[in-house]
Amino acid sequence: MENSRRTVFIVVAVLLVGCLCVIIVGAGITGLFFPFERVMGLLAPGEPTVVAQEIATEMPTQIPSEPTKAASNPSPSPTSGEIENSPTDIPTQAPTPVPIPPDIAVQMDDIEEQVILLRKLQPSGDVIRSLLSRDQLRQKIEQDFFEDYSQEEAQEDVIVLSALGLLNPDFDMFTFYKDLLSEQIAGQYDQKSKEMDVVQDTGFGGPERFTYAHEYTHALQDQNFDIENGLNYSSESCEIDSERCAAVQALLEGDASLLQWDWFTNFATPQDLSELQAFYEDYEGPVMESAPDYLSEDFLFPYVYGEAFVEYLFNTGGWEAVNAAYRDVPVSTEQILHPERYPDDRPVEVLIPDLVEILGEPWQELDTGVMGEWYTYLILAHGRDPNARLDDIEAQIASEGWGGDVYLVLNNEQDGTVLLVMHTSWESENDARQFFDAFSKHSTVRFGNPSNTEGDHTTWTSALGVTDLTIQDEYTTWILAPDEATAVLARSAIWP
């Protein structure tokens, strides 16, 4: 789950006219947010409308790419994507791009200047722009994605997510990502190579121009704030702290999304609007539509809530207030969900004993990290069992008092059983009680009636094992164990 929770860095975005609908794809740099661990690039999904068929048919097929012109200074770049998988039938040679036709290059130059004007950030370096066929771009992204994400890692993610109640145990995460990449690709920005890839066989109409404004905003972010080193947003840092990673990604995507709509309001043409409407009227995405409920919601987080976060900052102090957030980045999904709490309300560190040492062999650590307010909400409101989902408002109230947590997933290598522990600190005893009551309601539907209730401690016994929920002061502990003895041992270690 470390890999699937904050899978980000290859990003697919669908931005409807008048309605933001974004999809993020990726797997591999960190874990438990299951999106998001890559310094993303924005991709408009599906099969964009062909508005310049004559340009597409006249394009050569194998000629080197070219850097952009130097505008006020050379142009920069957005956020890129890397992902993870075992390369089986993925090509090893990078596809050869084609040159940008002059009329499209002029449009890109104009959009860059418009974005610079609106965002009030100056570029400081070159970005290479290249045209690829849809298949070439898909091959390039798959090669990056599956270079680090194996079928074994995908299966480990499924084990963790199914224990949380978010996925069916037999869900094929690896194939889902592969199919989704094939369905959604339209363009990307590669942060490491500073290269902007644009699909050549769709022309450069309203959907592509709209997306280009978003991507170029990422370029300005990168050149002004140094996404990887300045913001400490990389695969390594996300592996260590996926909760912070999700917050930084929301800042990046929220900034680019807000600017994108600003660009649309000020510079989009009537033809852009017409082509965007046609694109979304014709758009179909069966793979994305088949995504598990929690995953659909999670894909939207950095765009929907990120944009609301950035808009809140903008309304308090304009772009300078947004720029200040890059110097003191948000560190939790709680701060993104409640921008009025940024930057003062920071997560508390929560610790639990070394359960691997306490339980001994054959138990091995499978995953550990911070769940955060957002994933706590998803567990309550968007689990795989529709009957066990709480009403959105009830789930939000139950999770919004989150103060900090630690989760741990262990795997018994002999029999394949799993032990899940989630130990959470809440802002107050009342907040802890709200979660305890809400999670008890959720668990009773998921696991059946409690087998034991003793005030601040409730147990459920089901085919999935023993579920144990404890509340003490401002802390709650959820344990999912294969048997009562293991549950008691884990609870006694946390609450001696």
Question: Mean pLDDT over residues 28-56, rounded?
Answer: 25
Q: What is the DSSP letter of 240?
A: H
On the question of pLDDT at 245 being above 90, the answer is yes
Query: What architecture (CATH level 2) is domain 355-494?
Result: 3-Layer(aba) Sandwich (3.40)
- The predicted pLDDT at position 40 comes to 26
On the question of pLDDT at 91 being above 80, the answer is no
- The pLDDT-based confidence of 449 (bands split at 50, 70, 90) is very high
- The pLDDT-based confidence of 128 (bands split at 50, 70, 90) is confident
- The predicted pLDDT at position 3 comes to 44
Bridge partners (DSSP) listed for residue 412: 363
- The predicted pLDDT at position 95 comes to 61
On the question of pLDDT at 77 being above 80, the answer is no
Beta strands in 342-401 (DSSP E): 363-369
- The pLDDT-based confidence of 221 (bands split at 50, 70, 90) is very high
On the question of pLDDT at 99 being above 50, the answer is yes
On the question of pLDDT at 268 being above 60, the answer is yes
Highest mean pLDDT among 47-51, 188-192, 281-285, 368-372: 368-372
On the question of pLDDT at 93 being above 80, the answer is no
Q: Which residues of 330-362 are buried (b: 16+ CB within 10 A; e: fewer)?
A: bbbbbbbbbbeebeeeebeebebeebeeebeee
On the question of pLDDT at 471 being above 50, the answer is yes
- What pTM was estimated for this model as a whole? 0.83
| pLDDT tens readout for residues 383-439 | 999 999 999 999 999 999 999 999 999 999 999 999 999 999 999 999 999 999 999
Rounded-to-integer distance, Cα 74 and Cα 72, Å: 7
Question: Mean pLDDT over residues 451-456, rounded?
Answer: 93
| pLDDT tens readout for residues 326-356 | 999 999 999 999 999 999 999 999 999 999 9
Highest mean pLDDT among 67-71, 136-140, 187-191, 256-260: 256-260
DSSP secondary structure of 193-230: TTEEEEEGGG-S-HHHHHHHHHHHHHHHHHHHH-TTTT
State percent of the chain over pLDDT 90: 64
Q: Which residue has the higher pLDDT, 148 or 267?
A: 267
- The predicted pLDDT at position 184 comes to 61
- The pLDDT-based confidence of 94 (bands split at 50, 70, 90) is low
Residue position matching structure tokens 């009025």: 340
- The predicted pLDDT at position 248 comes to 97
On the question of pLDDT at 378 being above 70, the answer is yes
Q: Over the chain, what is the mean pLDDT?
A: 81
Q: Furthest-apart CA pair in the chain: how many Å? A: 75
Sorted by sequence, the CB contacts under 8 Å of residue 166 that are 6+ apart come out as 292, 294, 295, 378, 379, 382, 383, 384
- The predicted pLDDT at position 475 comes to 98
3-state secondary structure of 478: strand
- The pLDDT-based confidence of 131 (bands split at 50, 70, 90) is confident
Cα–Cα nearest to 77, from 295, 242, 175, 224: 224
- The predicted pLDDT at position 140 comes to 83
- The pLDDT-based confidence of 200 (bands split at 50, 70, 90) is low
Rounded-to-integer distance, Cα 404 and Cα 321, Å: 26
On the question of pLDDT at 61 being above 50, the answer is no
Q: Which residue has the higher pLDDT, 101 or 468?
A: 468
On the question of pLDDT at 316 being above 70, the answer is yes
Sorted by sequence, the CB contacts under 8 Å of residue 27 that are 6+ apart come out as 3, 4, 7, 34, 83, 84, 85, 145, 149, 153, 154, 157, 173, 177
| pLDDT tens readout for residues 145-157 | 888 788 999 999 9
On the question of pLDDT at 33 being above 80, the answer is no
Domain ranges of the chain: 6-339, 355-494
